Structure 1
Amino acid sequence: MIEQFDITSPVRLLDLGAGSGSLSGAAKTRWPDIKVLTVDIDPKVDLPNTSARQLSDEFSHEHFVIDALCENLLTVLNCTNAPIDVAVCNPPFITPKWRNEFSEILEDAGFLDCLPFPADVDAGLLFLAQNLRLMSENATLGIILPDSLITARKYQKFRAILLSTYAITKVIQLPRGSFHHTDALASIVILQKTKKHQDFIRVYCLTRDKNLSEPLFVDVHSAAERLDYSFHFHRLHAVDVTCRKKTMLQELAVEIKRGSLSSAQIKSTGFPVLHITNIKESDIGQWLDFRSFDTEIPDDCSAIVKAKPGDILISRVGRNLESKIVGVMAGTFPVSDCVYVIRCSPDTRNTVLAQMASQKGRAWISAHAYGVAAKQLAKKELITFPVLLDEHKDV
Structure 2
Amino acid sequence: MTIDQIYTRFLSCSTVSTDTRTISENCMFFALKGENFNGNKFASEALKKGASFCIVDELEYAVDERYILTANVLNTLQQLATQHRKQLNTPIIALTGSNGKTTTKELINAVLSQKYNTIATKGNLNNHIGVPLTLLELTKDTEIGIVEMGANHQKEIEFLCTIALPDYGLITNFGKAHLEGFGGVEGVIKGKSELYVHLKQQHKTIFINETDTLQIKQAGDYDDIIKFGNDISLEHAPPYFNITFNTSEIKSKLTGIYNFNNICAAIAIGSHFGVPDEAIVSGIETYVPKNNRSQLIEKNNLNIILDAYNANPTSMLAALQNLQIQEHTRKIAILGDMFELGKEASQEHQAIVDFVGDLDVDSVIFVGRHFYKTNSNAAKIRFFETFEDLKSKVSELELDNALLLIKGSRGMALERVLDLV
Q: Under a length normalisation based on structure 2, what TM-score does the superposition of the two structures give? A: 0.26
Q: Under a length normalisation based on structure 1, what TM-score does the superposition of the two structures give? A: 0.27
Could you say which structure has the larger radius of gyration?
Answer: 1
**Structure 1 or 2: more helix by fraction:** 2
